């Protein structure tokens, strides 16, 4: 991290009409462990600490380029989430068993990563990627 960076943590908040379905998708399907959970009269929520976070900013042309590589057409919205996984095949199987919709089968990117595109149960575009072997 660059010294003097004013941001110390990034959080992305997803809201769903079917919280339990999304909880199963991300916690069981992706295998993420909740760090904090609250279920009370004000509602349900949880925080999952995923570790390293990056924010990618694209213009429309770059977003189209990525969509063409991963899904052969421009289809993600303004927000798409990507997760690096150590075993793409195993992660794909878990997600499909827990409510993911396969948007496009895995592809090898021009930079050598292995990527697959899904939608979560609420329709958010998700890329899973396995880094190229060195």
Q: What are phi and psi of 35, to 5 degrees?
A: -95, -40
Q: What is the pLDDT of residue 7?
A: 82
pLDDT, tens digit only, all 134 positions of the chain: 456 778 878 889 999 999 999 999 999 999 999 999 999 999 999 999 998 889 999 999 999 999 999 999 999 999 999 999 999 999 999 999 999 999 999 999 999 999 999 999 999 999 999 998 86
Identify whether 88 is part of a domain: yes
Structure tokens at 15: 């809201």
Identify whether 70 is part of a domain: no
Q: pTM for this one?
A: 0.87
> How many domains are contained in the chain?
1
Q: What are phi and psi of 126, to 5 degrees?
A: -130, 130
Identify whether 72 is part of a domain: no
In sequence order, which residues have a C-beta less than 8 Å from that of residue 83 and are 6 or more positions away?
Answer: 30, 50, 91, 126, 127, 128, 129
Tell me which residue range forms the domain holding 103: 19-52+77-130
Structure tokens at 132: 């190229």
Q: What is the pLDDT of residue 14?
A: 94
Question: 117: domain CATH number?
Answer: 3.10.180.10
Identify whether 113 is part of a domain: yes
Identify whether 112 is part of a domain: yes
Q: What is the pLDDT of residue 3?
A: 63
- Distance (Å, rounded) from C-alpha 79 to C-alpha 125? 7
Identify whether 30 is part of a domain: yes
């Amino acid at each position: 991290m660059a010294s003097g960076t004013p941001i110390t943590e990034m959080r992305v908040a997803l809201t769903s009409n079917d919280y339990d379905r999304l909880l199963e998708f991300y916690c069981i399907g992706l295998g993420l462990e909740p760090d904090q959970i609250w279920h009370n009269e004000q509602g349900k929520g949880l925080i999952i600490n995923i570790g390293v976070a990056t924010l990618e900013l694209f213009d429309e042309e770059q977003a189209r380029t990525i969509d063409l590589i991963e899904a052969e057409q421009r289809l993600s919205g303004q927000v798409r989430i990507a997760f690096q996984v150590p075993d793409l095949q195993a992660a794909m199987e878990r997600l499909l068993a827990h409510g993911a919709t396969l948007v496009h089968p895995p592809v090898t990117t021009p930079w050598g990563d292995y990527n697959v595109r899904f939608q979560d149960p609420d329709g958010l575009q998700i890329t899973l990627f396995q880094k190229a072997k060195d």
